[in-house]
Amino acid sequence: MTAISFIVPMYNSASYLEKNLKSIAQMVGQKRAEAEVLLVDDGSTDETRAIAYRYAKKYSFIQVIEAFHQGVSVARNLGVANATGKYLTFIDSDDEFAPNFVDVFETLIVKEPDLVFVDLETVDKDTLLENIDAKQKISLFKLINRGRGNTGIGSKFFKRSFLEQYNLNCQIKLEKNYLLICNVLHEYF
């Protein structure tokens, strides 16, 4: 079984998808056996699908799934249905990653938790995360989230068996991500 499945819903993402896929290819790097990337095209009408297939042809760990335009929640659920990873995460087609992201993730799952929450930071290319101490990271996190906690789906890794046990999936209602996070927290705590 693959360790992690990155599920990337895409809709008319051509203008920024290339940057995302370069980042993913670099991040997965030598970890091809431990990671898969599922690019779920939600009926794009631009060059998104062509770019996705070009990367899938070049990298064996990338798979393209085509769908009719039904929205990001349906695309995410389609990704889950096709994923083989023990852990699943959802990323947006305009996200970028540090090259060591998969390595860091592997250190977080040693004890096989049901959920992994990570903080996401936006930094410019000249800022090194190593130069930001833990207290600064917490302050930045609170400032960005205004003390509410991060409800974004992209900063969570879900153990597949946990999602299946509680029949949790991405919902179309409410803010696309928030309902899933609320359901997860309700079942877990």
**pLDDT tens digit sequence for 61-101:** 999 999 999 988 889 889 999 999 999 888 889 888 777 77
In sequence order, the 6+-apart residues with CB closer than 8 A to the CB of 161 are: 86, 114
**pLDDT tens digit sequence for 110-120:** 888 887 776 55
Beta bridge partners of 115: 158
Residue in the block written with tokens 């599922």: 38
**pLDDT tens digit sequence for 6-54:** 999 999 999 999 999 999 998 887 666 688 999 999 999 999 999 999 9
What span, in angstroms and rounded, lies between the C-alpha atoms of 158 and 135? Answer: 26
Contacts 24+ apart (CB under 8 A), 178-187: 178/151, 180/153, 181/151, 181/153, 181/156, 184/115, 184/156, 184/158
For the record, the structure tokens of 74 come out as 């349906």
What span, in angstroms and rounded, lies between the C-alpha atoms of 87 and 119? Answer: 17
